């Protein structure tokens, strides 16, 4: 600073100081920051306002009154900016409480909305459990199948009505999934019998739980997609009595009381003899699926020796089991995705 200072320079300095000080106070976000700024600008000994005041001594005498007046104005401006900032910071915590929720450990927590498994998935898990206790392990197969596994190897020849395009979902675009062969959505889980036997020698004791597809119009008891539980047991000494015992143990275990089993003669190309399996429930006989002794042609198709091996197979409807257990009367409820329905299981 020179020996004497013009009033204009002094005023300029004061204005710059005021701008800087007001900005510092306005932007102070914490009490510590504000205190730092206060010491810098308003400090009684080292403060920059104090330093500016000292500069007044070098101003021409005639200009001093004007300089003093300007100084007081700026001092007031800076002090009021400080005061406003102090008040703003003092009020801040109160404002925060008003704005948003604070953590209050005494308020009961928000209950979690825990999802649950679909009733069919629950049933599938339970059936695996029951059959697991009877010594059956779980096998799986693809839902997009070729004609060999869905028909041919199951002794269903080309001219058989079960292969009618109107009764199956043949796929125009399945070539990639089936290696160029005609593909379809499997119409039964019996496909997995073939896949398992192709892969491993006897004895076999498996179940397969999965989706099957048939172009049925949806009504209370039909749906174009549903689930089956397939069972297959192959060994050297197996009879229909074993089949009946397994089904009875299964039904008793699933339905929770001693369930009687009735076999009615039937026909499936892949079993001989074939039966419809009915379970006795609430004074009625209810059909749960088909079963029978595995046809020798099926054993031949997978390279098993039919003179040495024998076995049984069965296929039950999973939806039907689940509906019977819970008193559900319309299969379509399972696939509407209405949580009011699904929430009950
Ligand atoms: N696959 C038959 C069906 O879908 C059921 C079945 C399975 C019958 C195994 C006999 C043996 O109707």
Spell out the residues 6+ positions from residue 75 whose beta carbon is closer than 8 angstroms to its own: 49
The pLDDT assigned to 266 comes to: 97
Q: How far is the CA of 28 from the centre of ligand 1 (A)?
A: 79
The pLDDT assigned to 182 comes to: 81
Q: How far is the CA of 52 from the centre of ligand 1 (A)?
A: 101
The pLDDT assigned to 199 comes to: 97
- CA-CA distance, 286 to 280, in Å (whole number)? 6
Q: Which atom of ligand 1 is nearest to the CA of 290?
A: 8
CB distance 315 to ligand 1 below 6 Å: yes
CB distance 123 to ligand 1 below 6 Å: no
- CA-CA distance, 155 to 148, in Å (whole number)? 9
The pLDDT assigned to 281 comes to: 83
Give the residue among 221, 147, 157, 223 at the shortest CA–CA distance from 185.
Answer: 147
What Å distances lie between residue 24 and 17, 39, 41, 43, 215, CA to CA?
11, 11, 9, 14, 77
- CA-CA distance, 244 to 256, in Å (whole number)? 17
Spell out the residues 6+ positions from residue 137 whose beta carbon is closer than 8 angstroms to its own: 205, 206, 207
Cβ atoms of residues 209 and 228 within 8 Å: yes
- CA 133 to chain CA centroid, Å, is 29
Q: Which of 189, 207, 226, 290 to mutate to test the pocket of ligand 1 (most atoms within 8 A of CB)?
A: 290
Q: How far is the CA of 271 from the centre of ligand 1 (A)?
A: 8
Spell out the residues 6+ positions from residue 282 whose beta carbon is closer than 8 angstroms to its own: none
The pLDDT assigned to 158 comes to: 93
Cβ atoms of residues 13 and 52 within 8 Å: yes
3-state secondary structure of 228: strand
Q: Which of 207, 228, 311, 317 to mutate to test the pocket of ligand 1 (most atoms within 8 A of CB)?
A: 228
Q: Which atom of ligand 1 is nearest to the CA of 315?
A: 7
Q: Which atom of ligand 1 is nearest to the CA of 228?
A: 4
CB distance 317 to ligand 1 below 6 Å: no
The pLDDT assigned to 1 comes to: 44
The pLDDT assigned to 97 comes to: 54
CATH number of 119-342: 3.30.930.10
Range(s) within the chain of domains with CATH label 3.30.930.10: 119-342
State the DSSP string of 8-69: HHHHHHHHHHHHHHHHHHHH--SHHHHHHHHHHHH-TTT-HHHHHHHHGGGB-GGGHHHHHH
Q: Which residue has the tokens 């001219």?
A: 159
Give the residue among 195, 211, 213, 205 at the shortest CA–CA distance from 138.
Answer: 205
* pLDDT (tens place) for every residue of the chain, 345 residues total: 445 778 888 899 999 999 999 999 999 988 889 999 999 999 998 899 998 888 888 888 888 888 899 999 999 999 999 999 999 888 876 555 556 677 888 888 888 888 899 999 999 999 999 999 999 999 999 999 999 999 999 999 999 999 999 999 998 875 656 667 789 999 999 999 999 999 999 999 999 999 999 999 999 999 999 999 999 999 999 999 999 999 999 999 999 888 999 999 999 999 999 999 999 988 889 999 999 999 999 999 999 999 999 999 999 999 999 999 999 999 999 999 999 999 999
User: And the tokens for 15?
Assistant: 């204005």
Residue whose Cα lies nearest atom 5 of ligand 1: it is 315
């Amino acid at each position: 600073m020179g020996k004497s200072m013009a009033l204009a320079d002094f005023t300029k300095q004061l204005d710059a100081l005021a701008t800087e000080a007001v900005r510092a106070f306005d932007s102070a976000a914490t009490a510590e920051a504000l205190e730092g700024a206060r010491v810098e600008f308003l400090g009684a000994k080292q403060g920059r306002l104090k330093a500016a005041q000292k500069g007044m001594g070098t101003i021409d005498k005639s200009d001093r009154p004007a300089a003093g007046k300007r100084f007081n104005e700026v001092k007031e401006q800076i002090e009021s900016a400080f005061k406003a900032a102090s008040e703003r910071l003092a009020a801040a915590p109160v404002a925060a409480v008003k704005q948003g929720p604070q953590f209050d450990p005494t308020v009961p927590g928000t209950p979690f909305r825990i999802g649950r498994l679909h009733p069919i998935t629950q049933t599938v898990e339970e059936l695996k459990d029951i059959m697991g206790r009877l010594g059956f392990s779980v096998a799986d197969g693809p839902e997009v199948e070729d004609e060999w596994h869905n028909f041919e190897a199951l002794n269903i020849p080309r001219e058989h009505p079960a292969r009618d395009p109107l009764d199956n979902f043949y796929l125009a675009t399945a070539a990639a999934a089936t290696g160029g062969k005609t593909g379809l959505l499997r119409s039964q889980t019996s496909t997995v019998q073939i896949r398992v036997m192709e892969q491993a020698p006897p004895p076999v004791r498996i179940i397969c739980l999965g989706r099957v597809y048939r172009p049925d119009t949806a009504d209370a008891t039909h749906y174009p997609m549903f689930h089956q539980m397939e069972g297959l047991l192959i060994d050297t000494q197996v009879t229909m009595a074993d089949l009946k015992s397994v089904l009875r143990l299964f039904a008793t275990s699933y339905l929770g009381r001693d369930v009687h089993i009735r076999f009615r003669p039937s026909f499936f190309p892949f079993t001989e003899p074939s039966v419809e399996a009915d379970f006795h429930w609430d004074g009625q006989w209810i059909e749960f699926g088909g079963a029978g002794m595995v046809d020798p042609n099926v054993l031949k198709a997978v390279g098993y020796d039919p003179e040495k091996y024998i076995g049984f197979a069965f296929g039950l409807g999973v939806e039907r089991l689940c509906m019977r257990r819970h008193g559900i009367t319309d299969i379509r409820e399972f696939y509407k995705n209405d949580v009011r329905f699904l929430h009950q299981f």
